[in-house]
Amino acid sequence: MTESDALALATHRHYKGGLYRYIDTARHSETEAPMVVYEHLWPHARGLWVRPAELFFGQLADGSPRFAALRPA
């Protein structure tokens, strides 16, 4: 997938530059903690990932977002 193709689908940009698509928020089966289900689009192979919501929507030490929204999810 090209960067242009990925931008058409992406909802977030990782602070390191990768493009991602937020899919939904789910619950961990054991703890019921909210987990974000998201798809990596670019620059590596596409794939689904899960991350605790507080980390996905959280900020780095400098106050910038880990995943910056490109458009509403």
| Domain range for 45 | 3-69
State how beta strands 12-14 and 47-52 pair: unpaired
What CATH number should be reported for the domain holding residue 62?
2.30.30.320
- Tell me the pLDDT of the chain (73 aa) as tens digits: 999 999 999 999 999 999 999 999 999 999 999 999 999 999 999 999 999 999 999 999 999 999 999 986 5
- pTM of the model as a whole: 0.91
Residue 26, φ and ψ in degrees, nearest 5: -120, 180
pLDDT at 71: 84
| Domains held by the chain: number | 1
pLDDT score of 73: 56
